[in-house]
Amino acid sequence: MHHTNFSVRHSILLYFLLTFLITWAALVLVMGWGGFTGREAVGEDLMPLLFLAMCAGPSLSGLICMYLTGGQAGLRDLGVRLRRWQVPLRWYLIALFTAPVLMLLVYFILSVFSDGFSPTILASEEVPLLLVGGIAGGLLAGFFEEIGWTGFAVPQLRRHFSILSAGLLVGALWGLWHLPLFTVPDPSGEVPLGILLPVKLLTILPAFRVAMVWVYDHTKSLLVVILMHVSLTASTLILQPAAATGMHIVIFNLTMTGLVYLAVWLVGTRT
């Protein structure tokens, strides 16, 4: 198959455009325009469909762009990286435990200053359901999203950018891509939406994406990065602050972000 110069030179831009277009169009279909813009509440019964809509964008875009730039060989290479499991144990430990350990550390630090912070799981009356839902959501998001973000975008960007730059760029777009899910104002009215949205979308996610790019750079294993994403999503669903007022979210997210960067710097300089 002949591959056009456009598909090679502009494939990364095409990937991001398709990812946003497919996901956001699917979300409008599922949520309606009112739900998409945050003017109307979205029912819990729609959550499975929302997850599928979110998963569709990065995975389909990644596969399309991989095929445009590399043909069948590009898709075979994706399969190789998906099956690459023989990496040192420490990378599995980093992938699986970075998110939950740092989140629990955030609660420990914040408990010194306030007793208002506690994870969702402690306030839940249906702990098994929360655990199963968190892990299932993590598996779905981790597998389908990373087909695109790490399967395609990260290797393309790493040809031209450092781990930090590639991580921040993908992380910022990854955060903005979640925008329609977070357009509901803070019910407590403590924090304006113009501050709350950047805190929700552009703090933890870019920081954690830097860590994910760093792990991928050392392992070249898409499987390990998928597990890292699974762990982050599951930990977020299970361990996020139960009293999620605007100020709680701001303080929690900024503390978590600082710890992620600190962890990357401490471990990265010794690996």
Looking at residue 240, the DSSP 8-state letter turns out to be S
Q: What is the pLDDT of residues 109-165, one digit of tens each?
A: 998 888 778 898 988 889 999 999 999 999 999 999 999 999 999 999 999 999 999
Tell the residue number behind the tokens 């393309």, with chain if given. Answer: 156
Residue 40, CB-side half-sphere exposure with 13 Å CA sphere:
10
Tell the residue number behind the tokens 């990286």, with chain if given. Answer: 81
Number of domains in the chain: 1
Looking at residue 221, the DSSP 8-state letter turns out to be -
Cα–Cα distance for residue pair 98/230, rounded to 1 Å: 11
Q: What is the pLDDT of residues 209-225, one digit of tens each?
A: 999 999 999 999 999 99
CB 268 within 8 A of CB 214: yes
Q: What angle do CA 151, 154, 155 make, to 5 degrees?
A: 80
* 77-81: average pLDDT: 97
pLDDT at residue 194, rounded to an integer = 92
Q: Is residue 12 very low, low, confident or very high in pLDDT (cuts 50, 70, 90)? A: very high
pLDDT at 1 over 50: no
Closest CA relative to residue 221, chosen from 130, 87, 54, 70? 87
How far from each other are the two terminal CA atoms of the chain, in whole angstroms?
41
pLDDT at 5 over 70: no
* 66-95: average pLDDT: 96
* 169-186: average pLDDT: 92
Per-residue burial over 233-258, b if 16 or more Cβ lie within 10 Å, else e, is bbbbbbbbbeeebbebbbbbbebbbe
pTM above 0.85, yes or no: yes
Cα–Cα distance for residue pair 22/83, rounded to 1 Å: 27
pLDDT at 255 over 80: yes
Residue 51, CB-side half-sphere exposure with 13 Å CA sphere:
18
CB 147 within 8 A of CB 154: no
Range of the domain at 42: 5-268
Structure tokens belonging to residue 128: 């098994």
Q: Is residue 235 very low, low, confident or very high in pLDDT (cuts 50, 70, 90)? A: very high
